[in-house]
């Protein structure tokens, strides 16, 4: 998918933050590791300064567990494959998929 103007999807995962662990690493680290392993175009983790989710508990960055959002843009089938592989990593996360149009750059990754 290297042509601008092509369609893709944006996957955004709103993660509980550093406190949410998968094995020894934070859940968002596992999301990015798995996206890289599957050859997706790229992934970015964003630490929030403050937020709340289904628990309605406010999380602030001054606490040691700020909320984290992971954003990935790629082809829908590749995002589906990633979500299937993540399983328990997504516990407590809110997952949002939206169609997007690539205006510039790439969204095809090496694989």
In a domain, 34, yes or no: yes
> Band of the pLDDT at 1, cuts 50, 70, 90?
very low
In a domain, 45, yes or no: yes
pTM for this entry: 0.78
Tally of domains in the chain:
1
CATH number at residue 36: 3.30.70.120
DSSP-based three-state secondary structure for 66: coil
Between the two ends of the chain, the Cα-to-Cα distance in Å is: 11
DSSP state, residue 94: E
Note whether residue 111 is domain-resident: no
**Region 80-93 average pLDDT:** 91
**Full domain range(s) for residue 61:** 7-101
- In tens, the pLDDT along 14-73 reads 987 776 666 778 889 999 999 999 999 889 999 887 766 666 666 655 556 678 899 999
Q: Which of 33-37, 85-89, 99-103 has the highest mean pLDDT?
A: 33-37
Q: Where are the beta strands (DSSP E) in 16-67?
A: 21-22, 25-26, 44-47, 50-51, 59-60
Q: Percent helix, strand and coil across the chain, each rounded to 5?
A: 25, 30, 45
Per-residue model confidence (pLDDT) at position 64? 62
Tell whether 61 is covered by a domain: yes
């Amino acid at each position: 998918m290297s042509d601008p103007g092509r369609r893709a999807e944006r996957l955004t995962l709103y993660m509980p933050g550093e406190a949410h662990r998968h094995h020894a690493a934070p859940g968002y680290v596992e999301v990015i590791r798995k996206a890289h392993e599957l050859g997706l175009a790229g992934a970015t983790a964003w630490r929030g300064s403050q937020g709340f989710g289904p628990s309605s508990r406010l999380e602030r960055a001054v606490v040691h567990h700020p909320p984290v959002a992971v954003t990935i843009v790629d082809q829908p089938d590749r995002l589906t494959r990633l979500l299937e592989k993540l399983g328990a990593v997504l516990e407590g996360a809110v997952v949002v998929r939206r169609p997007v149009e690539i205006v510039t750059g790439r969204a095809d990754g090496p694989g």
